[in-house]
Amino acid sequence: MIERKQNPEQKGRTILRNILITVGIMGAATIVCLALQHFSEADTHVPLLFVLAVVIVARFTEGYVYGILSAMAAVVLVNYVFTYPYFELNFSITGYPLTFVVMLATAVMVSALTTQIKWQEQIRLEVEKEKTRANLLRAVSHDIRTPLTSIQASASGILDNYDALGRQEKVELLEGIRDESRWLIRMVENLLSITRINGDRAQLQTTWEVVEEVVGGAVGKFQKQFAQIEVETSMPEEVVMAPMDGILVEQVLVNLMENSAIHGKTTTKIRISVQKLPERVLFCVEDNGKGIDPAILPIIFEGQLSTGDHAASDGKRSMGIGLSVCMSIIQAHQGDMKAENMAAHRGARIQFWLPCQEENWMEEA
């Protein structure tokens, strides 16, 4: 059994939510029964509606307490409001104990089934999480081994043949070490990003960021490594702000541009555009490379692409790991991401969006 731990603030919100659900549903049932009295003199529908209300409360609240409390409240309401003499409690009515027991048993059974379903769902999510983590570690271990071997071989070649190697050969080996080291640093940054959003079920600490500044920071980092590739940006005329972890979203944009540069093969230009849509901000990264193999599009964000797949790899770097990190970051922001090829073989397009309630921004401003 997996128990979800909540901090005091989360626990308080959960209790308040359960109370509001219970009061709202029982109040709604009372109002409906009162309304139906104007259309029918019979009151046989009243117990049935309150049993339904108890079932709904038990289904949509956590634990047994609220379902049991709603069952007790239902019995009292039926007795006090809908049983003659009205608006008086009368516990001597024939069948009253049986009604109470039936409603209480219904609440307990539904609450137990609902709690069990929620626990099973939590276990399933944990299993999926561990499976994804295992796949990521397998992919990372393969991807890291190759550049480390290359660095070791280049360093050994320089040390063992220092006098025999010419200056240009030494420079080429050192440049290889530098490039492989940079790639390893980016890989470690991706792994740290995954740890940051998954560790101890931590909630992201988001703040309202100016989107143009986040995009500009990502472009600056990217062009330090890929100065030969042109990057064009398209922003709305008005200032756009969105709640996000700016460091992580910047990492997403850097990863997407690096994938375009490395795996696009023929990429010479990347375009980043931002659109402000109702209740969300849409980011789009397009390139003029060779596009993405349609066969891997359905699994491109799962982090399971083989480095032997020519369409997904440059022989030593897996596209899937970086994109898996991107998807994890965006989903942690309650957003989503999709990849597609543009028409007429004009390259690949990856879009993601972040939720943005403009009124919340105005309140905080």
Here the CATH number for the domain that contains residue 308 is 3.30.565.10
For residues 120 and 212, state if they share a domain: no
Quick one: pLDDT at residue 260? 92
pLDDT band at 336 (very low <50, low <70, confident <90, very high): very high
- The residue with greater pLDDT, 330 or 129, is 330
**Looking at the domain assignment, is residue 293 inside a domain?**
yes
d(C-alpha 101, C-alpha 98), whole Å: 5
Final residue of a domain: which of 106, 127, 148? 127
Please report whether residue 189 resides in a domain: no
Please indicate, yes or no, if residue 63 is contained in any of the structural domains.
yes
Whether 68 and 108 have beta carbons less than 8 Å apart is answered as yes
pTM as predicted? 0.56
Helix pair angle (167-198, 246-263), 10° resolution: 140
In a domain, 38, yes or no: yes
With 90 as the cut, is the pLDDT of residue 321 above it?
A: no
Give CA–CA dist 325/330, Å, rounded: 9
Q: Is the same domain home to 230 and 106?
A: no
> Does position 293 have pLDDT exceeding 50, yes or no?
yes
Q: 219 versus 185: which is more confidently predicted?
A: 219
Range ranked top by mean pLDDT from 47-61, 79-93, 181-195, 304-318: 47-61
Amino acid at site 313? S
Q: How confident is the model at residue 27 (pLDDT cuts 50, 70, 90)?
A: very high
Low-confidence winner among 73-82, 218-227, 257-266 (lowest mean pLDDT): 73-82
Q: Tokens at residue 156, please?
A: 């050994």
Same domain, yes or no: 217 and 325: yes
Total domain count, the chain: 2
Same-domain check for residues 320 and 223? yes
Q: Which of 112-121, 142-151, 171-180, 210-219 has the highest mean pLDDT?
A: 210-219
Average pLDDT over residues 43-52: 82
Average pLDDT of the chain to the nearest whole number: 80
Please check whether residue 156 lies inside any domain of the structure: no
Q: Which residues pair with 210 in a beta bridge?
A: 241
Q: Where do the DSSP E strands lie in the chain? A: 207-210, 230-234, 241-244, 269-277, 280-287, 336-341, 348-355
Same domain, 98 and 212: no
State how far the alpha carbon of 72 is from the alpha carbons of 21, 107, 120, 255, 258, in Å. 16, 10, 28, 56, 61
Structure tokens at 105: 């048993």
Query: At 334, is the secondary structure helix, strand, or coil?
Result: coil
The β-bridge relationship of strands 336-341 and 241-244 is: unpaired
Q: What percent of the chain has pLDDT over 70?
A: 80
The residue-averaged pLDDT of 129-134 equals 69
Whether 279 is in a domain gets the answer yes
Long-range contact set of residues 328-334: C-beta below 8 Å, sequence gap at least 24: 328/193, 328/194, 328/197, 328/198, 329/193, 329/197, 329/245, 329/248, 329/249, 329/251, 329/252, 330/252, 330/354, 332/197, 332/204, 332/248, 333/204, 333/206, 333/244, 333/245, 333/248, 333/249
pLDDT at site 326: 85
pLDDT at 316: 45
Of 127, 151, 178, the position where a domain reaches its end is 127
Residue 88 forms part of a structural domain: yes
Together in a domain, 327 and 216: yes
DSSP three-state, residue 110: helix
For 89, the 3-state DSSP assignment is: coil
Going by C-beta distance under 8 Å and a sequence separation of 6 or more, which residues neighbour residue 195? none
Q: Considering the domain boundaries, does residue 255 fall inside one?
A: yes
| Beta-sheet pairing, 348-355 with 280-287 | antiparallel
228 and 116, same domain (yes or no): no
**Domain residue limits at 208:** 204-365
